[in-house]
Structure 1
Amino acid sequence: MFPGVICIELNQPPLMVIKPGESFSIGCKITGYSASGGDCTNWIRHSAGKALEWIGWFCSSGNTGTSDTMKNKISFTAETSSNTVFLRGQSFQTEDTAVYYCARNTQ
């Protein structure tokens, strides 16, 4: 390791296929910061042919936010024992087809 360099790693499942209307959960396993230590994790999606879209964030303090387009479709939770943040989705339709990413919030 290099002095002063911090390694942050976020691991997600490689592929999930969800049928319209199904509920699902995407886990984001965190290494390098704590899901319960006050840090925040953002969620972003990328639909084919469109720009990246921020859809929400989860902070271990309980502070969360969701974009207007995803209100009533997503929620967030954390499992401190595995240091994992979850995006939980419901009522997704074909227009929600995208690659979903988690990303650490920079302070």
Structure 2
Amino acid sequence: MTALMDLYEAVKSGVDWADNVFVKNIDESEAKTDLTFLLVRDATQELENYGSNTFHTMTYTLQIQIFYASDSDLDYDEVELKLFRYLESKGYLISNVRGRLQDPDTYQDYQTFLVNIEKEV
């Protein structure tokens, strides 16, 4: 299974406060502004730990976006910290939290953050 699909499965099984989790792109027919959902997608990969003229690990950087329902009563800090701790327990490193913004088209608040995971190849 790819690093992206591993993260998707982890998020799907570890998040009970969202209405849906999407991978790679958002299914517009299921992404309504009155729902809270997450989008998981690739960001970058880096070849690392060179020895004997070859690499031995790859670090995957993956992006997660949380789109909050326009009428959400969730405590954003609480659910985000819970998700960060859960992902850390699964071996992911939270590498960047970009801060909440509001989507100019849907007026939904959203948060974007990056996680890293290293795999031997």
Give your verdict on TM over 0.5: no
Larger radius of gyration: 2
By relative contact order (CA 8 Å, sep 6+), the higher-ranking structure is 1
Greater share of strand: 1
